[in-house]
């Protein structure tokens, strides 16, 4: 239902003026091909600056691509960007247009601007606020809410005036588990009842694993992998994730530990490694027996997660520690 | 999480939305487009939302605008000696309130909205650009009503002018408001950076202050030309004329008509600027 072909967008270089350094041109999306099927929850995963927002802004008609095509439900969005607003609802990363409105007025106004009459805008507003547990906050201005509450209120606005396609740019940023659950519940309900398709930008790999039907991993403007979460995980199936936590610092005088260091992603006292099963067994034996054990605080063994997939794909030259913001 | 395969979705919702057209390459489904917001309801919705945010955030600024105008009139009392000059001062100070809010604050608002990506919200809703611009302009213009009225009444009392024809404000505020708000919105949307939008808005307001409040006869010729270019001037003129003992209503109407014409033009420019800013 949404076909993207060879989508390319380069932000032009900006010449530096006094006090501001010049910025080189950035190819934010680079020949992206994506196919989203109807009724699917499709994820875009990738590190900061990978080009996720740039990609969805081109899908929503907000930005004209340099090259390539976008077709949503049979409509050519590059040629008719104004049609996007009549097919999809977009939740952007910014909320400044709604900030000074109350939750209830933000939702109602957005519904009316999606073509609802006053009566249906109000009843849909009430239903959505109730569904998301926002009724108690309805009369508060968005500006005076906490970050997660504000995000939830913006999400509510995106749902008033139903659309067959939802494009959500990091909808759950800053939300607690209850609010996140409300978001996924609402998304799921719309999919089950109306066949709504969802394109979701996220950093949260754990969420991605549980919610998404398929994921495209974006890195420096390119799709480096696209599959179901479990399909992606099969790519690193033969591997085990080992995490070691040292009491103070790693005992590098132990040769086995020193040998592991090259393969570890270090963050403070924490080492994360991806190893073949027999290597993992050997490593655990080495650190739990002998001299290294005194320096070890904790260790975990786990089957690979989507995060490991991302690391295995070599996102951003291998120096990225993972997709979960820390 | 329930995983619903695309093929077994409830048929009704899907089927109703689609009609199948035959393209060269074969059969493909083209979904019907969702509803579009019509101009007037959308304008009303934007107006209501903008008025509510202006109410929360801008009341202190309205006080500032009113005090500024009243202060100017008090100052000018020592300078002008009644008659035509007094009328010009009162009319100019009253319209200055409109300039402060409609031009200056609206330029700031649109400048910031554009810089922070807030325009995306409106641009991804099926709403006519004119509804967004006109709704915001109308809200800011109507927000000036109390301040303008207070200024006009205080001015009349200060300079002993008749209150008889103050009803003309019912025409002056919307028309001057349209002209100035259109200008403010256009400046805010066209300025490459938000600081520049703020600066332009304030310059515009300073121009309205200098060119509208100071009696025109005392200004140099060049400045008088600049005065003729400023959209608020015609509102000031029309309002000033009505303080006379026997106002020439023909001229008043003509001034108001010019104001309306400028208003239509500046709102058209603002709408064009919005379209330009919304899709990049
Ligand atoms: N307006 C802009 N002008 C110039 N460069 C930009 C602009 N917006 C984004 N970029 C650059 O384009 C690249 C992609 O940015 P984009 O916002 O699409 O990333 P993202 O994947 O959404 O990141 P995040 O996870 O932080 O939201 C980045 O390198 C960014 O610096
Ligand atoms: Mg982003």
| pLDDT digits 0-9 by tens, A229-242 | 888 887 767 778 88
Are residues A75 and B30, on separate chains, in Cβ contact within 8 Å? yes
Residues B61 and B140 in one domain: yes
CB of A320 closer than 6 angstroms to any ligand 1 atom: no
What is the distance in A from the centroid of ligand 1 to the CA of A35? 22
Longest dimension (CA), chain B: 85
The tokens describing A295, both together, are 């320096």
Taking the CA of residue A93 as reference, the ligand 1 atom at the shortest distance is: 27
Q: Considering its fold, how many domains does chain B have in total?
A: 2
Are residues A97 and B1, on separate chains, in Cβ contact within 8 Å? no
Strand pairing report for B26-31 and B18-23: antiparallel
> Which H, E and C letters describe chain A, residue by residue?
CEEEEEEEEEECCECCECCECCECCEEEEEEEEEEECCCCEEEEECCCCCCHHHHHHHHCCCCCCCEEEEEECCEECCCCHHHHHHHEEEECCCCCCCCCCEHHHHHHHHHHHCCCCHHHHHHHHHHHHHHCCCHHHCCCEHHHCCHHHHHHHHHHHHHCCCCCEEEEECCCCCCCHHHHHHHHHHHHHHHHHHCCEEEEEECCHHHHHHHCCEEEEEECCEEEEEECHHHHHHCCCCCEEEEEEECCCCCCCCHHHHHHHCCCEEECCEEEEEECHHHHHHHHHHHHCHHHHHHEEEEEEECCCHHHHHHHCCHHHHCCCCCCCC
pLDDT over 70 for what percent of chain A? 95
Residues B49 and B166 in one domain: yes
3-class DSSP state for residue B30?
A: strand
What CA–CA distance (Å, rounded) separates B257 from B262? 9
Residues B25 and B161 in one domain: no
Residues B186 and B141 in one domain: yes
State the pTM of this model.
0.83
Residues B182 and B52 in one domain: yes
What CA–CA distance (Å, rounded) separates A52 from A201? 7
Per-residue pLDDT for A225 more than 70? yes
Instruction: Describe the strand order of the beta sheet including A67-72 as a list of residue ranges.
Output: A26-36, A2-11, A67-72, A75-76
Q: What is the mean pLDDT of each run of 10 residues along chain B (280 residues)?
A: 41 41 48 84 95 79 90 88 84 92 91 91 93 92 91 93 92 92 93 91 88 80 85 89 88 93 93 85
pLDDT at res. B11: 39
Residues B44 and B83 in one domain: yes
Which position has the token pair 């106002």?
B247
Residues B28 and B149 in one domain: no
The tokens describing A252, both together, are 């590098």
Query: Residues of A with CB below 8 A from B28's CB?
Result: 74
CB of A323 closer than 6 angstroms to any ligand 1 atom: no
CB of A11 closer than 6 angstroms to any ligand 1 atom: yes
What CA–CA distance (Å, rounded) separates B203 from B219? 19
Compute CA distances A221 → A34, A217, B216, B227, whole Å.
13, 10, 60, 53
Question: Interface pTM (ipTM) of the complex?
Answer: 0.81
> How high does pLDDT run on average in chain A?
88
Which position has the token pair 């709604």?
A98
More confident residue, A187 or A22: A187
What CA–CA distance (Å, rounded) separates B29 from B27? 7
- DSSP letter (8 states) at residue B23: E
Contacts of B131 (CB under 8 A, 6+ apart): A113, B37, B39, B40, B42, B43, B46
The tokens describing B21, both together, are 């057209």
pLDDT at res. A136: 96
Give me the residue from B10, B21, B127 closest to A113, CB to CB: B127
The tokens describing A110, both together, are 């957005």
Query: Residues of B with CB below 8 A from A106's CB?
Result: 49
Residue B247 dihedral angles phi and psi, to the nearest 5° = -60, 145
pLDDT at res. A315: 52
Residues B26 and B68 in one domain: no
The tokens describing A131, both together, are 């569904």
pLDDT at res. B5: 41
| pLDDT digits 0-9 by tens, B75-116 | 988 888 777 888 989 999 999 999 998 899 999 999 999 999
Per-residue pLDDT for A317 more than 60? no
The tokens describing B119, both together, are 């325009």
pLDDT at res. A295: 87
Range of the domain at B252: 39-278
The nearest CA of chain A is from the CA of B166 a distance in Å of 34
pLDDT at res. A67: 94
Residues B3 and B134 in one domain: no
Q: How many CB atoms lie within 10 A of CB B23?
A: 9
Residues B118 and B257 in one domain: yes
Residues B95 and B135 in one domain: yes
Q: Whose CA is nearest to atom 6 of ligand 1?
A: A11
pLDDT at res. B280: 60
Are A270 and A244 in contact by the 8 Å Cβ rule? The answer is yes
Contact status of B9 with chain A (Cβ, < 8 Å)? yes
**How many CB contacts within 8 angstroms connect chain A with chain B?**
151
Per-residue pLDDT for A28 more than 60? yes
pLDDT at res. A314: 58
All structural domains of chain A, each given as residue ranges with its CATH number in brackets, are 2-232 (3.40.50.300), 238-303 (3.30.70)
The secondary structure element, H or E, covering residue B107 is helix B106-115
Per 3-state DSSP, what percentage of chain B is helix, strand, and coil (rounded to 5)?
75, 5, 20
Residues B26 and B64 in one domain: no
pLDDT at res. A302: 82
């Amino acid at each position: 239902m949404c076909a993207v072909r060879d989508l390319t967008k380069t932000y032009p270089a900006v010449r530096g003026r006094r006090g501001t350094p010049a910025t080189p041109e950035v190819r934010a999306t680079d020949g992206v091909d994506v196919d989203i099927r109807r009724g699917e929850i499709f994820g875009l995963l990738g590190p900061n600056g990978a080009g996720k927002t740039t990609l969805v802004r081109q899908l929503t008609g907000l930005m004209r691509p340099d090259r390539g095509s976008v077709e949503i439900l049979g409509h050519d969005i590059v040629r008719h960007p104004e049609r996007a607003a009549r097919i999809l609802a977009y939740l952007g990363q910014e909320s400044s247009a709604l900030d000074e409105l109350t939750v209830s007025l933000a939702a109602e106004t957005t519904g009316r601007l999606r073509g609802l009459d006053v009566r249906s805008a109000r009843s849909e507003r009430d239903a959505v606020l109730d569904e998301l547990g926002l009724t108690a906050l309805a009369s508060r201005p968005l500006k005076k809410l906490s970050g997660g509450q504000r995000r939830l209120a913006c999400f509510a606005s995106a749902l008033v005036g139903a659309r067959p396609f939802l494009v959500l740019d990091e909808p759950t940023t800053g939300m607690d588990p209850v609010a996140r659950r409300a978001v996924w519940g609402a998304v799921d309900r719309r999919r089950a009842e109306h066949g709504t398709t969802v394109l979701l930008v996220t950093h949260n790999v754990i969420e991605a694993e549980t919610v998404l039907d398929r994921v495209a991993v974006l890195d420096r403007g390119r799709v480096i992998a696209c599959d179901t979460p479990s399909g992606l995980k099969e790519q690193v199936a033969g591997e085990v994730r080992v995490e070691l936590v040292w009491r103070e610092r790693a005992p590098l005088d132990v040769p086995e530990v020193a040998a592991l260091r090259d393969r570890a992603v270090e963050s403070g006292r924490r080492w994360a490694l991806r190893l073949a099963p027999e290597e993992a067994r050997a490593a655990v034996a080495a650190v739990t027996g002998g001299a290294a054990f005194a320096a070890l605080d904790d260790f975990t063994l786990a089957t690979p997660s989507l995060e490991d997939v991302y690391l295995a794909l070599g996102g951003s030259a291998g120096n990225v520690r993972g997709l979960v913001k820390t | 999480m329930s995983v619903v395969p695309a093929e077994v979705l409830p048929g009704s919702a899907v089927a109703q939305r689609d009609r199948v057209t035959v393209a060269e390459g074969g059969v493909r489904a083209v979904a019907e487009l969702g509803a579009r917001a019509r101009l007037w309801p959308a304008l009303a919705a934007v107006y209501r939302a903008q008025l509510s945010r202006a109410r929360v955030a801008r009341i202190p600024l309205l006080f500032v605008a009113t005090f500024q105008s009243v202060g100017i009139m008090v100052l000018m009392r020592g300078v002008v000696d009644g008659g035509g000059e007094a009328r010009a001062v009162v009319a100019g100070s009253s319209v200055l309130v409109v300039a402060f809010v409609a031009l200056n604050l609206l330029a700031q608002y649109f400048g910031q909205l554009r810089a922070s990506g807030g325009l995306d919200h409106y641009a991804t809703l099926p709403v006519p650009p004119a509804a967004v611009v006109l709704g915001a302009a109308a809200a800011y213009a109507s927000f000036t009503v109390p301040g303008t009225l207070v200024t006009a009444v205080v001015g009349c009392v200060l300079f002993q002018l008749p209150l008889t024809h103050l009803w003309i404000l019912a025409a002056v505020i919307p028309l001057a408001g349209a002209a100035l708000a259109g200008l403010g919105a256009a400046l805010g949307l066209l300025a490459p950076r938000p600081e520049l939008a703020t600066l332009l808005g304030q310059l515009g307001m300073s121009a309205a202050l200098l060119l509208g409040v100071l009696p025109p006869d005392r200004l140099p010729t060049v400045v008088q030309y600049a005065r003729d270019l400023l959209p608020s001037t015609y509102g000031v003129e029309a309002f000033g004329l009505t303080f006379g003992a026997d106002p020439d209503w023909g001229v008043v109407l003509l001034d108001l008509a010019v104001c309306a014409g400028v208003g239509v033009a500046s709102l058209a420019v603002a709408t064009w600027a919005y379209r330009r800013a919304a899709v990049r």
